[in-house]
């Protein structure tokens, strides 16, 4: 029934297995990839006919995690997986980026990649297995995919590169880098780093590139036994080639003239007018296929001008960064805000400080955890002069926000040193190239404005590449058109000390280490320049928080006192919050955070908690309140929630007939702790304390004579005579 092909290698200290022929046999390509005990089912399907009326490649990639993979049942009412999580969206983009450039340029068939995590050992992240599986599924599918590609994760621990570090190793690593590409070169890099040098980062990329060569060979060995016959790809016809030449003749001069306009919106109008002029000169049949020809002409004009002259669309050379303006405290009620403008790209970035109750709870396959730092990126249509649809957060917004999050997180203070939840929101108000890097700069500025003690400010820059057979040019601070028409999007963020995040996408088959080195060197120069411009507005974090931000005071209580602070059903901690108006968080280790913008209220809550957890000292005098009167004495609340007993014999230095002759419920009294009974209950005395001044009095009562058989002075009931039978 099954024609199973299964290959495996030892890779990074674990077994990597690729199997096909047993599952999902109706897909064009399907493989089950296992690394350790994490397994991902990857499928590739391409429609037989191209989609009509489009001039782009309709590829969609879906990565999905099933909770059964980790032996869990989904939370919530419906008990099934819902909309994609952030991790699923980011991994889908991670797979899409290196495989998209490797499809044949004329292929227009709708194609779908689905990668499903079906087993997770909580040690090996399935994203690498999913990348490898997508490559393998495409390689055996017969689709026009010019792969295979390999992928690897690289860590950096104790000065050494680590291949595919485990979750525990990543916690100690200064680097989390994913690299993917072909045997010839690198196509995609995604990373977060702790201010590492350009040399270490480039070394990590090359280390990963060399390491995944074994994976490429493994995929080839599977394809040699299981690959389907390649599909035929339609090459451009003579009519299409003639149309392309005609479009060039009619429109090259006008489009070249349009691209001399430096203002983005004016340039777009001129380009659109030039294209419309060309379309008017074509027949109806020619107009149907002219879109791709015009796009190709536009690309050739921009690219050749840069290669031949070194001058770019807006008149800059290849290394110059656009003019920068930085403003802080632009919003009066926010905790921290910044308006970062670079050329025609602008971000309004706002930082908000919250408490532990504001932390984001993540329900992941690895288990539930909390994030105290969030960075959200929004890209409204008006930022590019359009009237577009407003809806849910898109994949692009999630991806750009995560890139900025990775760039800034390494310079945040430790949670123990700055116990705030931090949320940064980047509203892109203008866009013409690298709004994600504008978000990095704005996030750094807004958090320093809010008083977040960053280790160092962080800036980011996007690099581009124009590569032709006769040369190439690396571009600093690329425009939107240069990104769209170029061959590389290379984003580098970091402090003056080193790189914190690097992301690279290549639209050609690969680039050389030489080009990467040039890009890194130019990016460093650009980053230092941007940091200098940012420092003109603020160069270090404010010493004081905004007056509108909550003040958080931390204290630690013994773990056996946590229950006392919380109270039955949360009664005590809820009462503290209601009475003082503070927010109070307590964790399982006894760390308490009291948050309030009112210092007096915060101190009241702290004193309240202190009184609950502290132990009364023998010999110390306290002021308390009578909460209950009984025949043998009175219970006095004298130490937070603690009560003690004043025995009737300790009320006065004389005999007392009835307790209520001396005190009643609700009275305020002064008591001295005289000891503890066998059950740990506190024994109090009023008779040795002056009830007016609170001064301790001399004990004038003569010591009791011990009674025969014990020293209990309680009156004894006479023995009842035994009844005679």
The pLDDT value given to residue 422: 96
Start-to-end Cα distance in the chain: 97
Q: How do residues 591-604 score in pLDDT, each as one tens digit?
A: 888 988 887 888 88
Contact predicate 177/94, CB 8 Å: no
Collect all residues with Cβ–Cβ distance below 8 Å to 424 and sequence separation of at least 6.
349, 350, 351, 352, 373, 374, 375, 376, 408, 443, 446, 447
The pLDDT value given to residue 176: 96
The pLDDT value given to residue 712: 47
Contact predicate 626/664, CB 8 Å: yes
Mean pLDDT confidence for 611-639: 87
pLDDT for 627 beyond 80 = yes
Distances in whole angstroms, Cα of residue 599 to Cα of each of 259, 421, 451, 581, 619: 59, 19, 18, 11, 32
Q: How do residues 407-441 score in pLDDT, each as one tens digit?
A: 999 999 998 889 899 999 999 999 998 899 999 99
pLDDT for 641 beyond 70 = no
Cα distance between residue 619 and residue 684, in whole Å: 10
Cα distance between residue 90 and residue 176, in whole Å: 15
Query: 171-185, 269-283, 537-551, 584-598: which has the highest mean pLDDT?
Result: 171-185
Report CA 448 to chain centroid distance, whole Å.
Answer: 19
Question: What's the pTM?
Answer: 0.82
The pLDDT value given to residue 389: 85
pLDDT for 722 beyond 60 = no
What is the DSSP annotation of 269-321? HHHHHHHHHHHHTS-HHHHHTHHHHHHHHHHHHHHHHHHHH---TTS--SSPP
pLDDT band at 109 (very low <50, low <70, confident <90, very high): very high
Q: What is the DSSP letter of 78?
A: S
Q: Comparing 151 with 305, which gets the higher pLDDT?
A: 151
Contact predicate 461/492, CB 8 Å: yes
pLDDT band at 450 (very low <50, low <70, confident <90, very high): very high
Q: Pinpoint the alpha helices (H) of 593-670.
A: 599-613
**Coil, strand or helix at 68:** helix
Cα distance between residue 406 and residue 297, in whole Å: 37
Cα distance between residue 406 and residue 191, in whole Å: 8
The pLDDT value given to residue 356: 83
Q: How do residues 483-529 score in pLDDT, each as one tens digit?
A: 888 888 999 999 999 999 999 998 887 788 889 999 999 999 999 99
What is the DSSP annotation of 95-138? HHHHHGGGB-TT--EEEEEEEEEEE--SSS-HHHHHHHHHHHHH
Phi, psi of 277 (to 5 degrees): -65, -40
The pLDDT value given to residue 702: 65
**Strands 160-163 and 150-157, sheet pairing:** antiparallel
Mean pLDDT confidence for 378-388: 91
The pLDDT value given to residue 560: 85
Q: What is the DSSP letter of 391?
A: -
Cα distance between residue 161 and residue 119, in whole Å: 27
Cα distance between residue 166 and residue 162, in whole Å: 9
Contact predicate 252/298, CB 8 Å: no
Collect all residues with Cβ–Cβ distance below 8 Å to 526 and sequence separation of at least 6.
319, 321, 461, 463, 476, 477
Residue closest to 30 by CA, chosen among 231, 21, 601: 21
Q: What percent of the chain has pLDDT over 70?
A: 96
């Amino acid at each position: 029934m099954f024609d199973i092909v299964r290959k495996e290698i030892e890779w990074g200290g674990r077994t990597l297995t690729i199997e096909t022929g047993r599952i999902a046999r109706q897909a064009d390509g399907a493989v089950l990839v296992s690394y350790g005990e994490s397994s991902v089912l990857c499928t590739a399907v391409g429609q037989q006919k191209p989609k009509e009326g489009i001039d782009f490649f309709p590829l969609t990639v879906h990565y999905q995690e099933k909770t059964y993979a980790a032996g869990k049942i989904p939370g919530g009412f419906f008990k099934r997986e819902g909309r994609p999580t952030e991790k699923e969206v980011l991994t889908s983009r991670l797979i899409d980026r290196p495989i998209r450039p490797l499809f044949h340029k004329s292929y227009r068939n709708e194609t779908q990649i689905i990668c499903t995590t079906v087993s997770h050992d909580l040690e090996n992240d399935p994203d690498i297995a999913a990348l490898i599986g997508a490559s393998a599924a495409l390689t055996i599918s017969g689709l026009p995919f010019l792969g295979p590609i390999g992928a690897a994760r690289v860590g950096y621990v104790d000065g050494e590169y680590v291949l595919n570090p485990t979750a525990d190793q990543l916690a100690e690593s200064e680097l989390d880098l994913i690299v993917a590409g072909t045997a010839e070169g690198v196509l995609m890099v995604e990373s977060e780093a702790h201010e590492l040098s350009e040399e270490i980062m480039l070394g990590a990329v090359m280390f990963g590139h060399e390491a995944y060569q074994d994976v490429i060979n493994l995929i080839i060995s599977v394809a040699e036994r299981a690959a389907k016959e390649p599909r035929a790809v339609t090459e451009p016809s003579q009519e299409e080639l003639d149309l392309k030449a005609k479009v060039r003749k009619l429109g090259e001069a006008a489009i070249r003239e349009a691209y001399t306009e430096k203002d983005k919106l004016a340039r777009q109008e001129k380009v659109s007018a030039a294209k419309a002029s060309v379309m008017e000169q074509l027949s109806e049949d020619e107009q149907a296929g002219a879109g791709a020809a015009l796009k190709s002409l536009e690309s050739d004009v921009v690219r050749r001008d840069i290669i031949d002259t070194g001058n770019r669309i807006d008149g800059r050379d290849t290394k110059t960064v656009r003019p920068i303006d930085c403003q802080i405290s632009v919003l009066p009620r926010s905790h921290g805000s910044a308006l970062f403008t670079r050329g025609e790209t602008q971000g309004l970035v706002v930082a908000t400080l919250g408490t532990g109750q504001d932390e984001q709870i993540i329900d992941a396959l690895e288990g539930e955890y909390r994030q105290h730092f969030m960075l959200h990126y929004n890209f409204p249509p008006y930022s590019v002069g359009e009237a577009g649809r407003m809806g849910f957060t898109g994949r692009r917004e999630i991806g750009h926000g995560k890139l900025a999050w990775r760039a800034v997180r390494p310079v945040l203070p430790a949670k123990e040193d700055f116990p705030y939840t931090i949320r940064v929101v980047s509203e892109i108000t203008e866009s013409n190239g690298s709004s994600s890097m504008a978000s990095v700069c704005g996030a750094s500025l807004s958090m320093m404005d809010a008083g977040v003690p960053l280790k160092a400010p962080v800036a980011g820059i996007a690099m581009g590449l124009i590569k032709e057979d006769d040369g190439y040019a690396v571009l600093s601070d690329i425009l939107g058109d240069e990104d769209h028409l170029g061959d590389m999007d290379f984003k580098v963020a970091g402090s003056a000390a080193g790189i914190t995040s690097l992301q690279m996408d290549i639209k050609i088959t690969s680039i050389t280490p030489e080009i990467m080195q040039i890009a890194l060197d130019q990016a460093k120069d650009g980053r230092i320049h941007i940091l200098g411009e940012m420092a003109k507005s603020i160069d270090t974090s404010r010493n004081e928080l905004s007056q509108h931000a909550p003040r958080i005071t931390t204290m630690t209580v013994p773990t056996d006192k946590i229950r006392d602070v919380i109270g039955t059903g949360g009664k005590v901690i809820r009462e503290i919050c209601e009475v003082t108006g503070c927010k109070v968080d307590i964790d399982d280790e006894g760390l308490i955070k009291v948050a309030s913008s009112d210092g007096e209220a915060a101190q009241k809550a702290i004193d309240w908690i202190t009184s609950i957890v502290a132990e009364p000292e023998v010999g110390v005098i306290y002021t308390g309140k009578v909460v209950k009167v009984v025949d043998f004495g009175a219970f006095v609340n004298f130490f937070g929630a603690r009560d003690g007993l004043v025995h009737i014999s300790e009320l006065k230095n004389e005999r007392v007939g009835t307790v209520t002759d001396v005190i009643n419920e609700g009275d305020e009294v002064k008591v001295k702790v005289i000891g503890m009974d066998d059950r740990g209950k506190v024994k109090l005395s009023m008779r040795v304390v002056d009830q007016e001044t609170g001064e301790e009095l001399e004990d004038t009562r003569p010591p009791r004579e011990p009674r025969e058989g014990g020293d209990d002075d309680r009156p004894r009931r006479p023995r009842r005579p035994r009844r005679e039978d």
